[in-house]
Chain A
Amino acid sequence: MTEALLEVTDLVKHFSVSSGLRGRAASVVRAIDGVSFSIRRGETLGLVGESGCGKTTTGRCVLQLERATSGRIRFDGSDITDMNQSELRQVRRSMQVIFQDPYSSLNPRMSICDILAEPIKVHGLVPDKAKREERVRELLAQVGLLPQHARRFPHQLSGGQRQRVGIARALAMEPKLIVCDEPVSALDVSIQAQIINLLENLQARLGLTYLFIAHDLSVVRHISDRVAVMYLGHIVELADRQALYEEPLHPYTHALLSAVPIPDPKLEASRERMVLRGEVPSPLNPPSGCVFHPRCPIAVDRCSAEIPPLREIRSGHWAACHLA
């Protein structure tokens, strides 16, 4: 369990906003600016942060849907950062993705059976057609759908059912790692619980490893073993779930956690909230030093001058703050 399945080192992804005839980069969006983390086999790493903090881009870089600007990504013992298309094809089998929006993540022109059978066929996992249909039924059963759903088209299914199809598609190739990019945030609360339970069941049965990207802190707390908090392209804190939620070290994590409502009106009324000033700065022009310092309630002069490194403050509890 201790061996890392995925290791991301100093990952940087910049998008250039070009203008003019020659397409020169006029400005650069620093979507991810030096992110490092690792995920052990069988573990779930939660990745939380506000919209636009770079968590989805991190997931896309891990999947090699976006080429990283710099940094290294090691998956299952090999460096996948500079692999060519044919080498990547092999890696992609063990690395799958579940998307946020179940309505646009399934090709509307393909039946569920085709959607699930296609990866199996293309990768030659089950060459025989009848056996392939058998495998599709098996996959549907695994995610709690019925065999007759195979003949349906995506528009004939509900949102929760579609998300189950999305999960089944990810499972079709028997992956080791699944990047879950906000897999429940587009679903009703009752369906969210079903999908979360399904993901946990599958992890237990198939020994899957998840990179779980979300902005819902309670969902992340429920499913993750460890949690990384992102702010403006940086990981500001990374710790075991328990440690992070009970003793957050970074002021941003503090603020995030204090925004989670408590399902008890009395406690909710009396609890202390930490409200941040201002807006998230633009990743086009991030602040100097610690990216959080303009909004930080405890910032000192040093914070605007020096970038705080992500350091291990307690055993297994990392934070990027000068004052932690």
Chain B
Amino acid sequence: MSATPQTVEESGSAAEPRGGWMDAVGSFVRQRPLGAIGAAIILLMMVVAASADLLAPYDPLATDYGAMLRSPGGHHWLGTDAFGRDVLSRMIYGSRTALMVGLGASFLGATFGSIIGVASAYFGGRVDLFVQRVMDVFFAFPVIILALAVVSILGTGVGNVILAIATPMVPRCARVVRSSALSVREMPYVDAARAAGFGHRRIILRHMLPNVMAPILIMATAFLGEAILLEASLSFLGLGVNEPTAAWGLMLRGAAVEFAESAPWMAFFPGLAISLAVFGFNLFGDSLRDALDPRLRTQ
């Protein structure tokens, strides 16, 4: 035998075609048209939110007492509310609030939830048992009740609403991620990392978390729609975003209480926006789940 081991020849399979991104999008549209519709709605919402300053015909906070409760048409396409604020402009700016709360809450909820879930699976035994029982306690409360409790402790406002909505998502994400992480825990590469003397944090964050990304992504998209709905519900109850911020739930609140008959457009359009956004996120989330089935991906 020679002193230097002979070199293994290059394998041809290594050169993967780059730029398969467009193809992936194309096949997603063809195979899952409903998901594509959902994605289109989300994309539209994002574009509107990003270019709200350009799109909105009026300042969403500007009151015009000369044009209160105008019906749709004329200068105000979707009418005005009880303070003479343009409904269309408020809806366009409201998409910003909805996206900010939705993205913020699902990001926070998915991040903390998945770290807790992976850590629970990694440590196992009593730690796992304890963490899962704490999660059970959170599960015992309906989502909205838990969110209400957090808001009543922290107070209203965008930041607190994000926290309030993220809280009930943490245990749900933790549970789903834990079940995937349990199988990753048994993978030899995790043993190899332990045998290499790596710390717990490194093993959890670098070796386990990236391998349970598929279920986390799916949970996060599923949360998005729900978070938007929850934000609207909280705002509607007066426990969410504060006036005069433009938010869909807040617009409903102002409209439904006194003007449901005299000025139905005030409630109709924000309600439509909420439904459409939630519908879009759910369609997209469902298709994404089918496309990256977590049970197949974490094997």
Q: Which residues of A contact B (CB under 8 A)?
A: 60, 63, 65, 88-93, 95-97, 99-101, 104-110, 118-119, 122-123, 141-146, 148, 152, 156-158, 160-161, 164, 166, 169, 173, 197-198, 200-201, 205
Report if A96-B5 is in contact (Cβ < 8 Å); known contacts: A105-B189, A157-B14.
Answer: no
Residue B258 at the chain A interface, CB threshold 8 Å: no
Contacts of A201 in B (CB 8 A): 1, 3, 5
Report if A144-B192 is in contact (Cβ < 8 Å); known contacts: A93-B197, A156-B13, A156-B14.
Answer: no
Residue pair A104, B10 in contact (C-beta under 8 Å): no
For the complex, what is the distance from the CA of A110 to the CA of B209, rounded to whole Å?
12
For the complex, what is the distance from the CA of A169 to the CA of B213, rounded to whole Å?
25
Residue B23 at the chain A interface, CB threshold 8 Å: no
Q: Which of A92, A110, A160 contacts B8 (CB 8 A)?
A: A160
For the complex, what is the distance from the CA of A197 to the CA of B5, rounded to whole Å?
9
Which residue in chain B gives the minimum CB-CB distance to A200?
A: B1
Contacts of B210 in A (CB 8 A): 107, 109
Beyond contacts A107-B193, A109-B211, A201-B1: 17 other A-B pairs, Cβ-Cβ < 8 A, are A96-B196, A97-B191, A99-B188, A99-B191, A100-B188, A104-B188, A105-B189, A109-B213, A119-B198, A143-B5, A144-B5, A146-B7, A157-B14, A161-B8, A164-B8, A166-B192, A200-B1
Residue B187 at the chain A interface, CB threshold 8 Å: yes
Residue B207 at the chain A interface, CB threshold 8 Å: yes
Q: What is the CB-to-nearest-CB distance from A43 to chain B, in angstroms, rounded to a whole number? A: 19
Report if A169-B192 is in contact (Cβ < 8 Å); known contacts: A89-B197, A93-B197.
Answer: yes
Q: Which of B188, B196, B207 contacts A119 (CB 8 A)?
A: B196
Report if A105-B196 is in contact (Cβ < 8 Å); known contacts: A144-B6, A160-B8.
Answer: no
Residue pair A145, B191 in contact (C-beta under 8 Å): no
Residue pair B187, A104 in contact (C-beta under 8 Å): yes
Q: Which of B11, B191, B211 contacts A65 (CB 8 A)?
A: B191
Residue B194 at the chain A interface, CB threshold 8 Å: yes
Residue B202 at the chain A interface, CB threshold 8 Å: yes
